[in-house]
A and B are shown apart, each in its own frame.
Chain A
Amino acid sequence: MSRTDGRTMRRPEALVEYLLRLGDDRLVLGHRTSEWCGHGPILEEDIALTNVALDLVGEAQLFLNLAGQTEGEGRDADALAYWRDETGFRNVQLVELPPGDFAFTVVRQFLFSAWAHGQLEALASVGHDELAGIAAKAAKENRYHLRHAGEWVVRLGDGTDESHRRAQSALDELWPWTVELWYQDDVDRTLQAEGLAPDPETLRPAYDALVKDVLSRATLTVPDVPMRMVGGRRGRHSEFLGHMLAEMQIVARSHPGASW
């Protein structure tokens, strides 16, 4: 559990939490993206979205397996994915929102990938061999996701009246959730002190510049709206995550230990 009582967390405890955050962001976004399988607007996009989902779920598996190994209680990625309840998940709420329309999906992917880019590039050189290796691989995959989503944001934003309206509406709805990307607590600070995690604030200028560049090319405007409450990193989620998990976990929970 995260602590806010000022007591210093121990490194393994903080690392497990941090790895759950990395893994859960990707597991939940990967699942949401996979909901497009068979529903993409065109065949190439159906394939692209399912490829992105596959990368994200694969990255989640690596981070969650490492979380389980670090925890040392015998849980692997499957145990963590299928047997934790909603309050055990550590993802940002941005990724748990339903996929919405295609504009919503690509604007969210862009905002997430732009943020993840800085995080993963920084993690690729931390002093933990396995974490650094997994992050370096994910960083490469994330470049493809970022490029793909960013190009769609520009096409839709600077496209027809209808595509512009949908992209702007997606941005208006998603923007308030981005506040949580910059959330920090004892987990982050403990790992920063150990040189195992970057300070998110140092990554923010590059993120701001990238997002500003793409949104301006897309003729989209950052909305002037109040930010949402944070909570996902400590297990407090929107109403949407529980519904998603019910679908994601039902088979594993109905047939424990099944293999095929």
Chain B
Amino acid sequence: MTRGTVPATPAEVIEILHEVKDPEVPVIDVVELGVVRGATIEGDRVTVDITPTYSGCPAMRLIETEIEAALQRHGVAEVTVRTVFNPPWTTDWMSAEAREKLRAYGIAPPGPTGGASQELVPLMGPARSVACPYCGSKQTRLESEFGSTACKSIHVCLSCHQPFEHFKSI
């Protein structure tokens, strides 16, 4: 089933890719996530470059399949999804709008990389302050740097007592 018009420019390809959501965090799409690195069109073939978030992220294969499906829905005959590794993905590529969508969804968005995220062994020093996505309090405690997916850590708000997840800065 063909929907809409066949994309004629890389910008139109990117526009279509906004339809592909992050399978683990469905409020943001793969473009906002920073996973899509570019698109090229050659005749009937559209090539999309993506970069993995985490090396072992199991969502990447699904994202590839969904990118192909989205472009095929728009009438693209041949889709190639290539994985590129350099430069490596960073949460710094996430847009301000995407960060706000994460927060509204109940996931504390990543702060800028550098600083505390670069520490090697802070040895249980003062916890990095992550604001609670529910009440905004900065009085929160890190429970674990590893959560339900590779990209998230687990925290508890000491003000509203709500446990929450944080999209790690990396």
A and B together in one complex: yes
Chain B residues with CB under 8 A of A140:
88, 90, 170
Chain B residues with CB under 8 A of A213:
121
- Interface residue? A150 (CB, 8 A): yes
Chain A residues with CB under 8 A of B145:
48, 144, 147-148
B55-A141 in contact (CB<8A): yes
Assembled-state Cα–Cα distance A146/B120 (Å): 6
- Interface residue? A62 (CB, 8 A): yes
CB A135 to nearest CB in B, in angstroms, measures: 9
CB B162 to nearest CB in A, in angstroms, measures: 17
Assembled-state Cα–Cα distance A241/B123 (Å): 33
Chain A residues with CB under 8 A of B150:
51, 54-55
Chain A residues with CB under 8 A of B54:
54-55, 58, 137, 141
Q: Which residue of A lies closest to B143 (CB)?
A: A44
Tell me whether A143 and B120 are in contact in the complex, defined as CB-CB below 8 angstroms, given that A47-B147, A129-B86, A134-B85 are known contacts: yes
Tell me whether A217 and B123 are in contact in the complex, defined as CB-CB below 8 angstroms, given that A44-B143, A137-B52, A141-B55 are known contacts: yes
Q: Mark A116-155, 1 if CB is under 8 A from B, else 0.
A: 0100000000000110111011101101101110110011
A133-B87 in contact (CB<8A): yes
Which of B55, B117, B145 has the largest number of chain A CB atoms within 10 A? B55
Chain B residues with CB under 8 A of A17:
none
CB B43 to nearest CB in A, in angstroms, measures: 27
- Interface residue? A57 (CB, 8 A): yes
CB A65 to nearest CB in B, in angstroms, measures: 9
Assembled-state Cα–Cα distance A52/B123 (Å): 19
Assembled-state Cα–Cα distance A203/B166 (Å): 33
B121-A137 in contact (CB<8A): no
B146-A48 in contact (CB<8A): yes
Assembled-state Cα–Cα distance A146/B124 (Å): 13
B154-A59 in contact (CB<8A): no
- Interface residue? A248 (CB, 8 A): no
B55-A210 in contact (CB<8A): no
8 Å CB interface, A209-235 against B: 210, 213-214, 217
Tell me whether A136 and B87 are in contact in the complex, defined as CB-CB below 8 angstroms, given that A55-B150, A58-B55 are known contacts: yes
Known: A137-B88, A140-B90. 14 other contacts (CB 8 A): A44-B144, A48-B144, A52-B146, A54-B58, A55-B54, A56-B56, A58-B52, A117-B120, A130-B86, A133-B85, A143-B120, A147-B145, A148-B145, A155-B124
Chain A positions within 8 Å of B, measured between CB atoms, are 44-45, 47-48, 51-52, 54-59, 61-62, 117, 129-130, 132-134, 136-138, 140-141, 143-144, 146-148, 150-151, 154-155, 210, 213-214, 217
Chain B positions within 8 Å of A, measured between CB atoms, are 52, 54-58, 84-90, 117-124, 143-148, 150, 154, 168, 170
